[in-house]
Amino acid sequence: MRGIAALTVALWHVTWRNHITILGFLTNGPLMVDFFFVLSGFVMFHSYKARLRSFFDARRFMVVRWGRLYPLHLAMLLVFVAIECGKWIALHFHLAAVASVPFAVNTPGALAANLLLIHGLGLYPGPTWNIPSWSISTEFFTYALFAMVALVARNRGVFVAVCAAFAAAGLTVSWVAVGGLGDTGRFAFFRCMLGFFAGVVTRAVYGALSKLRWPRGIWRWSSFVSLAAVLVFLSLKGLGPLYFCCVPLFMAAILTSALAENAGVRVLHAPVLVWLGTVSYSIYMVHPAVVWSIEFVLQWVLHVPRPDYYATAAWAGDLLVALYVAIVLLVSRWTFLHIEDRFRRRIKSAAS
């Protein structure tokens, strides 16, 4: 599921004309970030709630989560620093025109905030530097809130009630301040709170339902129906405030799929899907640099003026999309092996 969601976000960021990214469910690609949040809350409860018994446990939990997110975030941040410096050199020495003023949005202050992983906490009206990393910032501090609640609310019922309250708070602020789930700046943390703690509640419901003895066919079909409902919902346009409906749909899809797995029904076990899930974080973090690289080749190597490549023949755009996906997957495999997984293992070992 994470792999499909990450690839959907990557396709949504394609800028050139083609027949692929105009498909219905891809037009609402940004909502896949909210799917990440819900799934993350489910997984954190499932994997860590029982292990968070002391301040030491919470500290180790945060170090492990930092080791999971930060190394690749830092690597891609350095890539975009190099890109911004290259744009400044090109503009300063009159080597070429640039599409945006260097360091105008990606300021040194925003760089410092990115290095501290606080750039998604309402400091800026929108994303800076590596665009998807705003969600990494919000999620890291939501982890801290989750660990704090786990330590304070030892009773399971109280814990779930507090998490439900945080989800409600995230919904309220997002509804009143933004009116939807599109914010990636000032109120992005509350968007993350809504999805993450909704995922925690989903795991609590799973814990209760997984003890019941239902026919396996019920979970198989309920899983397929809920996944189909998500697909149909993402294909709708002009949803406005109805965007909030994606959260309960995501909860249902994750819940029914987990219950199907618990009943021994293999829903999403195709090797390619498992592999996509493995490299999903890399896909999510590296694809903006690949988009920038393709745009650079189009504009400065092939000399296709920027306004024109949006009107490129759609069939050529389709081929370019296929090439783009292939490059993203290849780069993601490399970054997963040599950055993401390597440093995650080292930091996790050091935290033990």
> Residue ranges of the domains in the chain?
2-351
Sequence-separated contacts (24+) of 129-133 with Cβ below 8 Å: 129/77, 129/80, 129/81, 130/73, 130/76, 130/77, 130/79, 130/80, 130/285, 130/288, 130/289, 131/13, 131/288, 132/9, 132/33, 132/284, 132/285, 132/287, 132/288, 133/73, 133/76, 133/77, 133/285
| Closest residue by Cα to residue 18 from 329, 307, 298, 309 | 309
Q: Is the pLDDT reported for residue 212 higher than 50?
A: yes
72 — pLDDT class (breaks 50, 70, 90):
very high
Q: Are 156 and 210 in contact (CB under 8 A)?
A: no
Which segment, 80-89, 119-128, 134-143, is predicted with the most confidence on average? 134-143
Q: How many angstroms separate the CA atoms of 351 and 199, rounded? A: 26
Which segment, 12-16, 85-89, 171-175, 303-307, is predicted with the most confidence on average? 171-175
Report pLDDT digits (tens) over 50-63: 888 889 999 999 99
Q: What is the pLDDT of residue 80?
A: 93
Q: Are 71 and 343 in contact (CB under 8 A)?
A: yes
Q: How many angstroms separate the CA atoms of 136 and 113, rounded? A: 13
Q: What is the pLDDT of residue 307?
A: 45
Tokens at 299, concatenated? 């504009």
Residue bearing tokens 């890109």: 83
C-alpha distances in Å from residue 63, one per residue of 73, 147, 351: 15, 12, 7
Kindly report the pTM of this predicted structure. 0.89
Q: How many angstroms separate the CA atoms of 198 and 255, rounded? A: 11
In eight-state DSSP terms, residue 270 is -
